[in-house]
Structure 1
Amino acid sequence: MWSIPNLLTFSRIIMIPVFVGMFYLPAPWNHQVAALVFMVAAFTDWLDGFLARRMGLTSPLGAFLDPVADKLMVTTALVLLVADNPSPWMALSAAVIIGREITISALREWMAELGARAKVAVSWVGKFKTAAQMGAITLLIYRHDLFGLPTYRIGELLLYVAVALTLWSMTVYLRAAWPSLSEDRKNDSGA
């Protein structure tokens, strides 16, 4: 239970209140520190999976907690960004990303009950979506120009790429699961 990958996952959950505190800290550098906390959390998301596979430390607890920690951090960041910039595009982007996460989590749970979870395993589109999403959120949180680059504007564009990849990956997962979802299961439905 207390393996390095699981500790990294727990640390990501513990970073959420730290991240929120830094985001709202009344200091001129609050967003830079909040972006750093978010980047560290995103890195631990990659690192815990890498170490678990590399060291043979995968566990049911880690398999459960890793996506939960990821979704909690991303959802928190998106809610803070929408509260900070309540534009229709930001709200719609956040709703699409959060809605997809809820949909795919429910789909994976349902497919596991059917014994077909492998049909909705993480795809390469999902991995690109996660990378674009993490980069976009980091830049949006940072918000100050860096070396003359408009990080907030780049973050917005990257967020729209993440939204497109979000919709694409959701379509891929739903299409893979559709045969199992559309089967007539009279015993399960009570019909």
Structure 2
Amino acid sequence: MKSTGFTLETLKAKVQALTRPERFVHILRVAELAQAIAEANGLDAQRAYLAALLHDAARDLPEEELLRLAPPENDVERSHPLAVHGRAARRLAEAWGVTDAEVLDAIEGHVYGVTPDNRIGMAVYVADVSEPGRGVNAEIRELALAGRLEEAYRQAIVSKVTYLKGKGVPVHPRTLLAYDAVLA
């Protein structure tokens, strides 16, 4: 792993200190699932666990702190500041010593989606949307655990875009890029 200056236990404590108890339990479920998905798909399970452990580190921060860490880059983020929590979590991870670019991209991309070459990011994205505590997307989780990560990721992205469009909610430009990439 290309990261220095931290231990997983130190990072867990930092994340736990910033999140509500129910969020922290979600984070741990996502980390365990991302690790299992990584193992099932021949990926580095440690890196997937690390990215998932940090993915929601900024999720419970006050809006002002989110925007300080990750200033909005588009109208969706200006209208929905919570959309920057992945980028804010990336900034925290960088401050805590994480330097692995794929892990950092996975942390940031868990909100919007990642490019198809970031398989760690795909594992984290799928784990986040399908962890058992959510009570949804079991079929996506099962695909990923069966070694069919790309298919699971495609289904997760398409499902998200379909859901948001159906609700009349603006879709983040990066999510649309991920959507176009999985359909290409």
- State the structure with more CA Rg: 1
TM norm. shorter chain > 0.5: no
